[in-house]
Structure 1
């Protein structure tokens, strides 16, 4: 065989090898394309304009502008334009009265001792812009169920159904919903709240001209325990598999080529909150292309939102003091007129005119059995804590004759009011014996108020209304003592922007109480490390080593949680 033939044969071999490799590569690509085609066929939908991936905004002002642009693009040339007329607003307010919207914040400012939270104009601007977005989106799609069932994507609006686990108490409901609210705003999703969790039944409609109410009897939400989907929702275990497949196919993607992996995603719970991968940038890029999301649980998770790298710049711009929860509840979770009427009447009759007010929230988790066992210990620690920290006046065994003579001819003694929220009467009885039998060194008079002592926690609309009444009354205190691990007390500290004292329930402890390091409450049972297999810059790292203002919760409160450390203390 001559050299020419050898060279020709070599060239042929090289060509054949190249063709085989090319064919293999093309077949691999075809396989992936088949996978994504099957995925799309399974979903019977390929999301369009409403599901285009856009990078997370870098600043709060950029988020505000994006909401404004979307609202303008939908509202132009429609009867429900970007802004409501004065008549429209007046009609909506008449149909959705909410006295607490104008009356609650001034009552916090009237407290004699507690520090008032300063205004936050950036948050106020964002909330106003998001309210417009919510109104225009809900008006444009008209029927959420019809829009969902048809797998429509004709609007650029996206949606979050924020639910609460069945059988959840008031504090957990409100914390879960507050977390969902902030997530919806951050991801520019229209917030819808199923009425079965009762929160819309005892709070005000938060968005002028719109409604967040969703009827789950007609709207196809996922099963409560997420055991299986109902055909409409992709549960996030499967969604994570799709993310993994996409990243394996093209590991260096910047998010845009992840593709629309689902029209509707239900976020599965772990320890009653979203799983660890929910808080990863890659997953959030994938979620951003879904038109609908559904979340449920009973745990506060706002600290974990601050941990998401792409969310952090906006959240830090919105809440430089980290007072996120207080801003959210005071703007969006206000008591409706039924609850507010109770608050006003009780406050006027029993609490107004106090020179200072102490709030006491006392819970016995195991009910009567724990109360019988721990009542004396807890009462002593409450008293010791209050006296050691100047929350209640010290007692004396002798009358101060000079002070007594002065009070007969001058103004009445200063008054300290103590509002007690507890299912049991023990602390009220204990403090009554002390302050009825003995005078105080300072000459202050102490008044005690407890409006319920039902012994057992109930779960109903009336129970939630009464509990919310007591939460707001607690929040109007100057100082607050709460039960560790109690979201009821945590909700009061959030509304009141108060740094609480935790009553020490530990029988082996020698301390009476411990001051919280922050106004913000604990994200309980939180995974403290990033679980982000596709985000190598943070995967496996402890969150508190990446974000310096996120710390472990105090052991007295919850040693398996994390919390935001605020720059505000009251």
Structure 2
């Protein structure tokens, strides 16, 4: 599970704790203290090391104390009976398995009658890799800014890079590139897609082929911040503006803090760089992000901007259009369960309540929008 997924799920858990009048504690995640400060003064939100329930990290959907299994075996009744625990006291804890691939019994967690049952349970242990938040568009924006403050070490990385490369520019364009399938999205296709998107939408200036010695106007400066596991995009875009002047006299600079080559979540240095780059994306005036990337979701939330989304290529071809403007800054809930609650609502989660629609980058997902559809 990447850093973006962890941030999304933790924000969701925090909001759930607020809404259900609970205290949230987080398991001692590896390297977490080196990435972020404690959000609450004079206390900690990390689970004590002597917590009596051990091996929480090994819990999965098959655990006998998972809510799905307790419902399936009728040890907990969620059908509106007066005694959901069949004469027994509530269990000391219930494990909530809310990751992709969960069962229909697990997804009863999202139903109101089940929430009434869970109120009786003192300890809820939750595992998630999703943004499952069902105030509107700015929910995650405010949660991120409230909860997730970079550690001093990471903040130093952020400020040094920003002041050195981005602050002098009049405008910053952030381009976040995430490739999930290199066969469907080969390098040259993604490169052409990025250039097509940024030039067509006038996010970047074109190149001037008529005046090879044109002098740039130093009052017109634009910095491009690229975040990617690979350096090839940086090299090609930088070369494009080195070999030819930018149209309109714009002075373009291209920067990329790191190019790790592969995702190495759990490695302290790798995670620190990732967290720093997510925050740097939040400083951009305009953002271009990759479809379905949680890394991009967190960056757009920190910046409070609606990004241009690079749609996923199919069959090794540049999509048409290459990118589209998102309708809100909210992340997308990817692993949406079928609507299993008693009301049914035609089985479409995007039609259950106002302000929730299907995502542009993930048609089967749902997200919050600041409009009624």
Identify whether the pair has TM-score above 0.5, normalized to the shorter chain. yes
What secondary structure does 1:195 align onto? coil
Q: Is the 8 A contact 1:482 1:502 kept in 2?
A: yes
Q: After superposition, what is the alpha-carbon deviation per residue over 1:22-71, rounded to whole angstroms, capped at 9, x for unaligned? A: xxxxxxxxxxxxxxxxxxxxxxxxxxxxxxxxxxxxxxxxxxxxxxxxxx
Q: Give runs of aligned pairs for residues 404-443 of structure 1, distance below 5 A.
A: 404=215, 412-443=218-249
Q: Is the 8 A contact 1:273 1:301 kept in 2?
A: no
Q: 1:452 aligns with which of 231, 248, 258?
A: 258
Q: Give runs of aligned pairs for residues 223-238 of structure 1, distance below 5 A.
A: 223-229=58-64, 234-238=65-69
For the pair 1:471 / 2:300, whether they are aligned, the reply is no
| Alpha-carbon distance change, 245 to 484 in structure 1, aligned in 2, over 3 angstroms | closer
Q: 2:47 aligns with which of 204, 210, 214?
A: 214
| Alpha-carbon distance change, 210 to 413 in structure 1, aligned in 2, over 3 angstroms | same
Shift in Å, 1:461: 2.1
Distance 2:33 2:194 in 1: 35
Q: After superposition, what is the alpha-carbon deviation per residue over 1:137-165, rounded to whole angstroms, capped at 9, x for unaligned? A: xxxxxxxxxxxxxxxxxxxxxxxxxxxxx
More helix by share: 1
Q: After superposition, what is the alpha-carbon deviation per residue over 1:514-549, rounded to whole angstroms, capped at 9, x for unaligned? A: 22122111100212x4312xxx44565423222121
Q: Is the 8 A contact 1:501 1:516 kept in 2?
A: yes
Aligned residues: 361
Q: After superposition, what is the alpha-carbon deviation per residue over 1:456-480, rounded to whole angstroms, capped at 9, x for unaligned? A: 1112222111100000001110111
For the pair 1:511 / 2:340, whether they are aligned, the reply is no
Shift in Å, 1:182: 0.6
Q: Give runs of aligned pairs for residues 503-542 of structure 1, distance below 5 A.
A: 503-506=310-313, 507-508=316-317, 509-527=319-337, 529-532=338-341, 536-538=342-344, 541-542=347-348
Instruction: Decide which moves more: 506-515 or 438-447.
Output: 506-515
For the pair 1:263 / 2:263, whether they are aligned, the reply is no
Partner residue, 1:395: 207
Distance 1:544 1:560 in 2: 9
Q: Is the 8 A contact 1:272 1:298 kept in 2?
A: no
Distance 1:354 1:479 in 2: 13
What secondary structure does 2:262 align onto? coil
Shift in Å, 1:451: 1.6
Q: Give runs of aligned pairs for residues 248-397 of structure 1, distance below 5 A.
A: 249-250=81-82, 261-269=90-98, 271=100, 275-303=106-134, 319=135, 321-366=136-181, 370=183, 374-397=186-209
What secondary structure does 1:398 align onto? coil
Distance 2:193 2:45 in 1: 43
Distance 1:273 1:462 in 2: 32
For the pair 1:190 / 2:23, whether they are aligned, the reply is yes
Partner residue, 2:368: 564
| Alpha-carbon distance change, 566 to 353 in structure 1, aligned in 2, over 3 angstroms | farther
The root-mean-square deviation of aligned C-alpha atoms, in Å, is 2.7
Q: After superposition, what is the alpha-carbon deviation per residue over 1:79-138, rounded to whole angstroms, capped at 9, x for unaligned? A: xxxxxxxxxxxxxxxxxxxxxxxxxxxxxxxxxxxxxxxxxxxxxxxxxxxxxxxxxxxx
Q: Is the 8 A contact 1:553 1:559 kept in 2?
A: yes
Distance 2:69 2:230 in 1: 47
TM value normalised by structure 1: 0.59
Q: Is the 8 A contact 2:78 2:114 kept in 1?
A: no
Q: Which has the higher contact order (CA 8 A, sep 6+)?
A: 2
What secondary structure does 1:299 align onto? coil
Distance 1:462 1:215 in 2: 25
Q: Is the 8 A contact 2:194 2:310 kept in 1?
A: yes
TM value normalised by structure 2: 0.88
Q: Is the 8 A contact 1:517 1:565 kept in 2?
A: yes
What secondary structure does 2:274 align onto? helix
Larger Rg: 1
Shift in Å, 1:216: 5.3
Q: Is the 8 A contact 1:360 1:421 kept in 2?
A: yes
| Alpha-carbon distance change, 353 to 329 in structure 1, aligned in 2, over 3 angstroms | same
Distance 1:473 1:466 in 2: 10
Shift in Å, 1:217: 7.0
Q: 2:358 aligns with which of 545, 552, 557?
A: 552
| Alpha-carbon distance change, 521 to 269 in structure 1, aligned in 2, over 3 angstroms | closer
| Alpha-carbon distance change, 199 to 178 in structure 1, aligned in 2, over 3 angstroms | farther
